[in-house]
């Protein structure tokens, strides 16, 4: 493979780094407490910012009195929107979208507040405690306006002449109406997914620093998409992109929500320039739960037309997406994705999706790990289970009849996600499903659950299939340099959110250059080190950046061997790199030269350089037209407590085909972590509001994250049977597979446990919700009645 | 609220004479006034455990304690866990078992587990899980943390048995 592309050979003897579960390069500093998270960074003379937030969910701003706050000793400035009239609302990442512009969030609320948590004023003080004291002294007077708290009810007024339905997104193909007319059966469901989010353990933070001497604006604490945010800031502030340096530090978890450009990021930058001092902002947890992106909340009214044998003829879905108060950087991305990916692994001859993208007086929403896929996998797999129940066919058999087969790959569908047409690149969905069922002992588990149910327990088994998407292009580039000591530096526009990015990129680079991966330093998230970058999102980092690294490393390798051939006076084809030295492989012993010495021979002043460009260095690019589509199945065994409505996960199996794993340990780590978050979304986590629009979950005592006892071990079956044909290493993304089908599989298992088909229509299945279902159906369900009689005997 | 008081904190065997408001939390004092930023702040209300440090012989949430309350007591943070270049068995085990991803909760988990093993090296598995369930992690799904702590516990017990035999 390597040979064909470079003309120089790669020896079989050298160490292989790709595919090995090596220890992470990131861990050393992190376990010693030497990480550098944004809160750990400090600049001399820095000011601390505190944001004053609205306590009203919707209203007209009558006045904002900041005088008392301004007078507090230690306070340097207090700003309201009137102080920064020239700063535009936070713009969309992908550029101008005129139709949605009126719905963007101002950096500080002008005229109206639209959710509790909406930034209204900003205090800048010498000490964070003083900033907080001063913030308490800001008095905001609000005239309340009517609330809109549900996306599935009629839209309300956003501004005069504009209602809260910011967009309606439609995707589809085929004659849906005709399919429903001729269908043998129609299955209809009304399904909801609760509002929850990524909630990383590190809250957000940002530090703006302005260097007037060089006219450089720095933003520290960036994550996920540093280059994109640089460009967005440049647009908003009217500065050349090259005069803004965005710096990523250690990031305490991203999950889609961290690293978007928020009002607070813009504020610290503007304040640093205007106040002439570095400005630091570290969010507290309450703020985080009020102000960082929420996600997921949708209600789907979906129906399927099916033939007598259970073949899907058409799917028709109308859904209501609760966007919260403003349209943030992602615009309608989650709704587009929802429409595009809903059909998943199944053949759907005719399809129509209508997404109502509606604003409500709640925290704005955007992407959270597997955006649109966690939601649609729940919806679609519920639908498949319902079809099975309606026709009296086994749910596995229904899936078999409708799943796209390996022979149909690659499979194009005239739908769109992330601006690209959907092209499933490779996969054997049923093959993997069968392996997962075998691994889980599906039939035995089903029988066992039946037996236990007969004995009075509420135990059930459920499964769900999914197709993920990953590796969003269109391009990624890296620059690799070897210094005179032989150390390798890879500079990339990718980003790290704690997933092990440095290790994986180092492994790929080390493989091609035949060096120890520990000698490779990976620089990421620094816009002053590399001009371009798309960052780490959409499970793209490994797919795109590793492919670019592969390309650049091949060039460095070629250059090293080319110079070595001249210095060693050996033919090119006799040379290889082993352990960081170019050696002759056609003789048992002979001269060799280290990569460091070769770098010295390529110095601008070196005689041996000849006509070559200086430096043992190369840039590599990778371009791709389509994303890659990994896939998998989840199986869950759960036990329901009849008295409390709580759900215990007894067993969980995840099968996933990654194409090719660079580091299987890290892939499994991603799956385990995603699974635990999925458990949160399936059973626990939900941002609730009362009818005044007041958020009820603003601490970790009310917003429940899964702890150790809620996240059992997962049996992970990681396969590499469908490498992607779209990149040289065959890689697909790893970040989202653990979470995608958790809501769906657990819902299916719970339904099996309680013996009421169609009962689970809403996530999260909290104990309260499940208890209500159990109590209301007690009379009609044989499974539930049995226990009632049992109790009577006892 | 700006009347500051002088407090002496002993962090990892080093004395720091600091001037803080009485309302300043221990974690803020450790991070800002003593410059030891390895201890992290995750929620500031005692639930996530990212700020766990050992005060005297007890694992505590340093966001729920004022700096003045720790005066004169022995504070240990993640920076003091390794013995020079020699990592603590827990630190090594977290690396070997992929017990961390973003690493933000890691110092809290390390100090929590270190304290549990110091208090009772023979802690049984159920108790150990109970202790570890008191902190939150958002990346790993916990299982690799459990594996790491179990491995380190074995090592600590093994080392103790070796000393006993000598």
What average pLDDT does range A418-429 have in this prediction?
91
Question: Cβ of B141 and A498 within 8 Å?
Answer: no
- Chain A CB contacts of B96 below 8 Å: 23
Indicate the pLDDT class of residue B2, thresholds 50, 70 and 90. Answer: low
Q: Are A617 and A731 in contact (CB under 8 A)?
A: no
**Interchain contact B1–A (C-beta under 8 A):** yes
**Interchain contact B82–A (C-beta under 8 A):** yes
The Cα A391–Cα A383 span in angstroms is 12
* A-chain residue closest to B134, CA distance: A707
pLDDT given for residue A94 in this prediction = 87
Q: Are A1 and A728 in contact (CB under 8 A)?
A: yes
- Chain A CB contacts of B103 below 8 Å: 26-27, 30-31, 35, 250, 252, 498
pTM of the model: 0.95
The Cα A377–Cα A436 span in angstroms is 17
pLDDT given for residue A175 in this prediction = 98
pLDDT given for residue B160 in this prediction = 81
Contacts of B87 (CB under 8 A, 6+ apart): A31, A32, B81
What average pLDDT does range A407-420 have in this prediction?
93
pLDDT given for residue A540 in this prediction = 86
Q: Are A163 and A155 in contact (CB under 8 A)?
A: yes
What average pLDDT does range A253-268 have in this prediction?
97
**Residue A4 pLDDT > 80:** no
Contacts of A260 (CB under 8 A, 6+ apart): A93, A224, A225, A293, A328, A329, A330, A366
* B-chain residue closest to A665, CA distance: B98
B122 to chain A nearest CA, in Å? 21
**Residue A157 pLDDT > 70:** yes
**Residue A52 pLDDT > 60:** yes
What average pLDDT does range A103-117 have in this prediction?
98
H or E element in which residue B89 lies: helix B89-96
Backbone angles phi, psi at A366, to 5 degrees: -160, -145
**Residue A785 pLDDT > 60:** no
**Residue A717 pLDDT > 90:** yes
- Chain A CB contacts of B98 below 8 Å: 24, 665-666, 668-669
A373-391 and A395-402 helices, crossing angle to 10°: 110
The Cα A444–Cα A507 span in angstroms is 41
How, if at all, do strands A47-53 and A312-322 pair? unpaired
Q: Is B10 exposed, middle or buried (0-12, 13-18, 19+ CB in 10 A)?
A: middle
Give the burial string for B154-164 (b: 16+ CB within 10 Å, else e): ebbeeeeeeee
> Sign (positive/negative) of CA torsion A337, A342, A348, A350?
negative
Task: Share the mean pLDDT of chain B.
Answer: 96
- Chain B CB contacts of A675 below 8 Å: 141
Q: Is A650 exposed, middle or buried (0-12, 13-18, 19+ CB in 10 A)?
A: middle
**Residue A11 pLDDT > 50:** no
**Residue A682 pLDDT > 50:** yes
What average pLDDT does range A307-316 have in this prediction?
97
pLDDT given for residue B64 in this prediction = 98
* B-chain residue closest to A666, CA distance: B98
pLDDT given for residue A112 in this prediction = 98
* B-chain residue closest to A739, CA distance: B141
Question: Cβ of A33 and B105 within 8 Å?
Answer: no
Question: Cβ of B36 and A33 within 8 Å?
Answer: yes
The Cα A509–Cα A496 span in angstroms is 17
Question: Cβ of A253 and B139 within 8 Å?
Answer: yes
Question: Cβ of A202 and B42 within 8 Å?
Answer: yes
**Interchain contact B24–A (C-beta under 8 A):** yes
Question: Cβ of A666 and B132 within 8 Å?
Answer: no
Question: Cβ of B132 and A708 within 8 Å?
Answer: yes
A29 to chain B nearest CA, in Å? 9
Question: Cβ of A699 and B101 within 8 Å?
Answer: no
pLDDT given for residue A781 in this prediction = 62
Question: Cβ of A675 and B138 within 8 Å?
Answer: no
The residue written with tokens 């601390």 in the block is A48
**Residue A9 pLDDT > 50:** no
pLDDT given for residue B159 in this prediction = 83
pLDDT given for residue A541 in this prediction = 83
Residue A322 to residues A110, A150, A259, A365, A425, Cα–Cα distance (Å): 23, 7, 21, 8, 32
Question: Cβ of B106 and A673 within 8 Å?
Answer: no
**Residue A670 pLDDT > 90:** yes
Indicate the pLDDT class of residue B163, thresholds 50, 70 and 90. Answer: confident
pLDDT given for residue A791 in this prediction = 40
Interface test with A, best of B46, B103, B105 (most A CBs within 10 A): B103
What average pLDDT does range A95-116 have in this prediction?
96
Question: Cβ of A669 and B140 within 8 Å?
Answer: yes
pLDDT digit string (tens) for A727-742?
Answer: 999 999 989 999 999 9
Q: Nearest Cα to B81, choosing from B93, B64, B66, B97?
A: B93
Report the DSSP beta bridge partners of residue A715.
A653
Contacts of A644 (CB under 8 A, 6+ apart): A767, A771
Gap between the terminal Cα atoms of chain A = 71
Radius of gyration in angstroms for the set of CA atoms belonging to chain B, rounded to a whole number: 16
Domain boundaries, chain B: 5-80, 89-165
Structure tokens at A32: 């010693």
pLDDT given for residue A777 in this prediction = 78
Per CATH, which fold does B89-165 belong to? DNA polymerase; domain 1 (1.10.150)
Indicate the pLDDT class of residue A794, thresholds 50, 70 and 90. Answer: very low
Q: Which of 18-37 (A) contact B at CB < 8 A?
A: 23-24, 26-28, 30-37
Q: Nearest Cα to A704, choosing from B149, B43, B144, B147?
A: B43
**Residue A182 pLDDT > 70:** yes
Question: Cβ of A37 and B48 within 8 Å?
Answer: no
Radius of gyration in angstroms for the set of CA atoms belonging to chain A, rounded to a whole number: 28
Question: Percent of chain A, pLDDT > 70?
Answer: 96
For residue A39, the 8-state DSSP code is G
Of the two residues A261 and B166, the one the predictor is more confident about is A261
A129 to chain B nearest CA, in Å? 8
The Cα A80–Cα A47 span in angstroms is 17
Question: Cβ of B142 and A708 within 8 Å?
Answer: yes
**Interchain contact B129–A (C-beta under 8 A):** yes
Question: Cβ of B98 and A665 within 8 Å?
Answer: yes
What average pLDDT does range A592-609 have in this prediction?
95
**Residue A222 pLDDT > 60:** yes
Interface test with B, best of A30, A36, A661, A713 (most B CBs within 10 A): A30
Q: Which of 159-218 (A) contact B at CB < 8 A?
A: 198-203
Q: Quote the CATH superfamily of domain B5-80.
A: Beta-grasp domain (3.10.20.30)
pLDDT given for residue A783 in this prediction = 61
pLDDT given for residue A10 in this prediction = 44
Indicate the pLDDT class of residue A74, thresholds 50, 70 and 90. Answer: very high
Rounded to the nearest 10°, the torsion over CA B117, B119, B124, B130 is: -90
Question: Cβ of B142 and A498 within 8 Å?
Answer: no
**Interchain contact B79–A (C-beta under 8 A):** yes
pLDDT digit string (tens) for A18-33?
Answer: 999 999 999 999 999 9
**Residue A793 pLDDT > 90:** no
What average pLDDT does range A520-541 have in this prediction?
91
Count other C-beta atoms under 10 Å from residue A456's C-beta: 13
**Residue A243 pLDDT > 70:** yes
Q: Nearest Cα to A652, choosing from B151, B141, B102?
A: B141
pLDDT given for residue A491 in this prediction = 98
Say which range, A168-177, A240-249, A428-437, A536-545, has the weakest mean pLDDT.
Answer: A536-545
Rounded to the nearest 10°, the torsion over CA A55, A56, A61, A63 is: -40
pLDDT given for residue A780 in this prediction = 62
Of the two residues A418 and A91, the one the predictor is more confident about is A91
Residue B48 to residues A485, A710, B35, B62, B102, Cα–Cα distance (Å): 44, 15, 22, 11, 15
The Cα A50–Cα A136 span in angstroms is 10
Q: What is the largest CA-CA distance in chain A?
A: 97
- Chain A CB contacts of B91 below 8 Å: 31-32
Structure tokens at B72: 């004169």
pLDDT given for residue A164 in this prediction = 98
**Residue A14 pLDDT > 60:** no
Question: Percent of chain A, pLDDT > 90?
Answer: 90
pLDDT given for residue A784 in this prediction = 64
A723 to chain B nearest CA, in Å? 25
pLDDT digit string (tens) for A478-518?
Answer: 999 999 999 999 999 999 999 999 999 999 999 999 999 99
Task: Share the mean pLDDT of chain A.
Answer: 94
pLDDT digit string (tens) for B44-87?
Answer: 999 999 999 999 999 999 999 999 999 999 999 999 999 999 99
């Amino acid at each position: 493979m390597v040979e064909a592309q470079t003309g120089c050979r790669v020896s079989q003897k050298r160490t292989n780094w790709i595919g090995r579960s090596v220890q992470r390069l990131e861990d050393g500093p992190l376990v010693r407490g030497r990480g550098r998270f944004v809160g750990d960074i400090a600049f001399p003379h820095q000011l601390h910012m505190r944001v004053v937030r609205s306590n009203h969910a919707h209203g007209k701003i009558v006045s904002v009195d900041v005088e008392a706050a301004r007078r507090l000793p230690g306070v340097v400035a207090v700003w309201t929107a009137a102080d920064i009239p020239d700063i535009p609302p936070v713009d969309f990442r992908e550029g101008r979208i005129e139709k949605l512009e009126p719905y963007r969030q101002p950096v500080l609320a002008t005229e109206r507040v639209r959710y509790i948590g909406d930034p209204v004023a900003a205090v800048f003080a010498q000490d964070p405690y003083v900033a907080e004291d001063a913030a308490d002294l800001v008095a905001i007077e609000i005239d309340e306006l009517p609330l809109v708290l549900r996306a599935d009810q009629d839209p309300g007024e956003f501004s005069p002449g504009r209602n809260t339905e910011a967009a309606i997104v439609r995707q589809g193909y085929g004659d849906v109406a005709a399919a429903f007319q001729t269908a043998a059966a129609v299955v209809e469901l009304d399904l909801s997914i609760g509002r929850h989010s990524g909630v990383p353990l590190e809250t957000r933070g940002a530090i703006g620093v302005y260097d007037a001497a060089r006219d450089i604006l720095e933003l520290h604490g960036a994550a996920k998409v540093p280059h994109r945010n640089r460009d967005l800031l440049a647009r908003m502030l009217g500065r050349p992109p090259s005069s803004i340096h965005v710096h990523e530090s250690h990031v305490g978890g991203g999950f889609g929500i961290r690293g978007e450009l928020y009002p607070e990021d813009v504020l610290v930058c503007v304040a640093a320039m205007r106040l002439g001092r570095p400005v630091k902002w570290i969010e507290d947890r309450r703020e985080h739960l009020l102000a960082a992106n929420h996600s997921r909340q949708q209600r789907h009214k979906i129906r399927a037309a099916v033939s007598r044998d259970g073949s899907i003829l058409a799917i028709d879905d109308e859904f209501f997406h609760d966007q919260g108060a403003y349209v943030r950087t992602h615009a309608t991305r989650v709704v587009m994705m929802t429409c595009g990916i809903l059909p998943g692994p199944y053949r759907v001859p005719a399809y129509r999706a209508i997404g109502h993208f509606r604003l409500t007086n709640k925290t704005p929403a955007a992407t959270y790990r597997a955006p649109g896929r966690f939601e649609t996998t729940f919806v679609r797999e519920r639908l498949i289970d319902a079809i099975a129940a309606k026709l009296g066919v086994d749910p596995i058999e229904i899936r078999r009849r409708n799943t796209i087969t390996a022979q149909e790959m690659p499979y194009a569908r005239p739908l769109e996600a992330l601006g690209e047409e959907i092209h499933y690149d490779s996969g054997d969905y049923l093959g993997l499903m069968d392996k997962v069922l075998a691994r889980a002992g599906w039939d035995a588990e089903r029988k066992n659950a039946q037996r236990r149910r007969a004995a009075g327990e509420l135990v059930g088994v459920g499964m769900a299939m999914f197709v993920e998407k990953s590796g969003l292009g269109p391009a990624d580039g890296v620059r690799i340099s070897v210094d005179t000591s032989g150390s390798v530096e890879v500079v990339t526009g990718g980003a790290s959110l704690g997933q092990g990015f440095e290790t994986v990129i180092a492994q790929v680079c080390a493989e091609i250059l035949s060096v120890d991966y520990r000698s490779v330093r990976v620089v990421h998230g620094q816009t002053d080190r590399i001009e371009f970058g798309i960052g780490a999102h959409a499970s793209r980092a490994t797919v795109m950046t590793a492919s670019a690294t592969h390309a650049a490393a091949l060039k460095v390798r070629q250059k090293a061997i080319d110079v070595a051939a001249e210095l060693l006076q050996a033919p090119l084809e006799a040379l290889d790199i082993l352990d960081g030295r170019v050696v002759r492989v056609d003789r048992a012993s002979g001269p060799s030269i280290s990569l460091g010495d070769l770098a010295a021979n390529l110095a601008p002043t070196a005689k041996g350089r000849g006509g070559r460009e200086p430096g043992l260095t190369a840039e590599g690019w990778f371009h791709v037209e389509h994303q890659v589509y990994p896939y998998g199945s989840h199986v869950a065994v759960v036990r329901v407590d009849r008295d409390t409505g709580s759900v215990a996960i007894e067993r969980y199996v995840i099968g996933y085909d990654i194409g090719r794993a660079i580091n299987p340990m890290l892939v499994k780590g991603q799956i385990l972590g995603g699974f635990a978050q999925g458990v949160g979304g399936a059973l626990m986590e939900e941002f609730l509001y009362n009818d005044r629009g007041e958020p009820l979950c603003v601490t970790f005592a009310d917003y429940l994250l899964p702890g150790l006892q809620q996240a059992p071990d997962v049996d992970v079956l990681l396969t590499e049977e469908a490498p992607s044909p779209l990149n040289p290493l065959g890689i697909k993304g790893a970040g989202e597979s653990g979470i995608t089908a958790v809501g769906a599989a657990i819902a299916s298992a719970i339904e099996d446990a309680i013996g009421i088909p169609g009962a689970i229509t809403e996530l999260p299945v909290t104990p309260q919700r499940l208890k209500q279902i159990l109590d209301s159906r007690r009379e009609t369900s044989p499974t539930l009645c049995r226990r009632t009689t049992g109790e009577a005997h006892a | 609220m700006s009347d500051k008081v002088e407090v002496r904190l002993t962090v990892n065997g080093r004395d720091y004479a600091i001037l803080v408001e009485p309302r300043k939390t221990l974690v803020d004092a450790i991070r800002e006034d003593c410059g030891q930023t390895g201890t992290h702040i995750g929620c500031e209300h005692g639930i996530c455990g990212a700020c766990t440090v050992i005060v005297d012989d007890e694992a505590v949430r340093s966001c729920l304690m004022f700096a003045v309350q720790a005066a004169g007591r022995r504070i240990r943070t993640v920076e003091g866990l390794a013995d020079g270049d020699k990592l603590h068995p827990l630190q090594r085990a977290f690396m070997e078992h992929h017990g961390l991803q973003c690493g933000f909760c890691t110092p809290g988990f390390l100090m929590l587990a270190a304290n549990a093993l110091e208090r009772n090296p023979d802690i049984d598995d159920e108790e150990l899980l109970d202790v570890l369930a008191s902190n939150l992690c958002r990346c790993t799904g916990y299982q690799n943390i459990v594996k790491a702590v179990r491995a380190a516990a074995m090592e600590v017990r093994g080392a103790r048995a070796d000393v006993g035999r000598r």
